Amino acid sequence: MMKDTVSQLLQARRRLAGQMPDPSIALAGSLMSRMIRCNKPGCRSCEKGKGKGHGPIWILSVSAGNQRVRQIPVPAHLK
Ligand SMILES: [Zn+2]
């Protein structure tokens, strides 16, 4: 009885492991949006204190190990 349960669990675990995405293409990260400033002189959107900047743009923040974080811009249609 006990043995059956264990083998069932092992089987379920193998099945679930098989459903995992390929770790080499799966990224652990978070998607966030932010406004950006172009820093062009005279740009109304980036005017100090008033402008909101451009965007929002989407950024995928991915841990690259060594406590570093890579920030990858994501086109809106791929969000
Ligand atoms: Zn601007």
Q: Give, for 50, the enclosing helix (H) or strand (E).
A: none
CA–centroid distance, 34 to ligand 1, in Å, is 14
CA of 60 to the centre of ligand 1 (A): 22
pLDDT at 43: 92
Q: CA-CA distance, 72 to 64, in Å (whole number)?
A: 11
The pLDDT tens digits for 21-36 are 776 666 678 888 989 8
Cβ pair 42, 32 in contact under 8 A: no
pLDDT of amino acid 24: 67
Give the Cα separation of 55 and 70 in Å (integer).
Answer: 20
How far, in Å, is the centroid of ligand 1 from the Cα of 4?
65
Q: How far is the CA of 18 from the centre of ligand 1 (A)?
A: 47
CA distances from 45 to 9, 31, 75 (A): 58, 24, 20
Cα–ligand 1 centroid distance for 31 (angstroms) = 23
The dihedral region occupied by 73, where left means phi > 0, alpha psi between -120 and 50, and beta the remainder, is beta
Mean pLDDT of 63-76: 83
pLDDT digits (tens, 9 = 90+) for 5-60: 999 999 999 998 888 777 666 667 888 898 988 988 899 999 888 889 998 899 98
The per-residue pLDDT for 15 is 92
